[in-house]
Amino acid sequence: MAGTATRETVVVKVGGSCLDDLAPEWWDALAALVAPTGAKLVVVHGWSKMLAGAAPDGQPDFIVDKHGFRSRYTTPAVLEEIERVAAGLRERIAELLRARGLSARAVSGAGERLLRAELRRNMWWVGDDLVELTNLVGPVRSVDGARLGELLHGADALVVSPLAVADGHPRVNTDADRAAAALAGAAGARRLALVMEAPAILADGEPVSRATRADLRDLAAHAKGGMAKKLRAVEEAFAAGVEAVAVGNGLPGDLLRGDAGTLIAAAATARAEG
Dihedral pair phi/psi, residue 144, rounded to 5°: -80, 95
| Distance (Å, whole) CA 36 – CA 249 | 23
| Distance (Å, whole) CA 235 – CA 239 | 6
Q: 52 pLDDT band (50/70/90 cuts)?
A: low
Q: How many CA atoms lie within 13 A of 99 on its CB side?
A: 12
| Distance (Å, whole) CA 165 – CA 188 | 22
| Distance (Å, whole) CA 54 – CA 99 | 34
| Distance (Å, whole) CA 12 – CA 246 | 9
Q: How far apart are the first and last CA of the chain?
A: 23
pLDDT of residue 226: 79
Whether residue 81 contacts residue 158, with contact meaning beta carbons closer than 8 Å, is answered with no
Give the model confidence (pLDDT) of 193-216 as tens digits.
999 999 999 998 899 999 999 999
Per-domain residue ranges of the chain: 9-50+90-114+143-265
Range among 4-18, 47-61, 79-93 with highest mean pLDDT value: 79-93
DSSP 193-256: EEE-SSSS-EETTEE--EEEGGGHHHHHHH--THHHHHHHHHHHHHHTT--EEEEESS-HHHHH
| Distance (Å, whole) CA 73 – CA 81 | 12
Q: 9-50+90-114+143-265 is classed in which CATH architecture?
A: 3-Layer(aba) Sandwich (3.40)
Q: Is the dihedral of CA 250, 184, 114, 226 positive or negative?
A: negative
Q: Is the pTM of this model over 0.85?
A: yes
Q: 66 pLDDT band (50/70/90 cuts)?
A: low
Least confident of 47-51, 130-134, 161-165: 130-134
pLDDT of residue 61: 76
| Distance (Å, whole) CA 270 – CA 244 | 7
Q: 111 pLDDT band (50/70/90 cuts)?
A: very high
Q: Is the pLDDT of residue 53 over 60?
A: no
| Distance (Å, whole) CA 208 – CA 73 | 32
User: From residue 148, how far is each of 118, 164, 186, 273 by CA, in Å?
Assistant: 19, 14, 8, 24
Which strand (E) or helix (H) includes residue 237? helix 226-239
Q: Which amino acid is at 122?
A: N
Whether residue 8 contacts residue 1, with contact meaning beta carbons closer than 8 Å, is answered with no
| Distance (Å, whole) CA 235 – CA 245 | 9
80 CA to centre of own chain: 20
Range among 56-60, 65-69, 118-122, 186-190 with highest mean pLDDT value: 186-190
Strand, helix or coil for residue 179: helix
Give the model confidence (pLDDT) of 213-248 as tens digits.
999 999 998 887 679 889 999 999 999 999 999 999
Alpha carbon dihedral 214, 67, 19, 9, in 10-degree steps, equals 50
Dihedral pair phi/psi, residue 219, rounded to 5°: -65, -40
pLDDT of residue 2: 45
Whether residue 142 contacts residue 182, with contact meaning beta carbons closer than 8 Å, is answered with yes
pLDDT of residue 64: 74
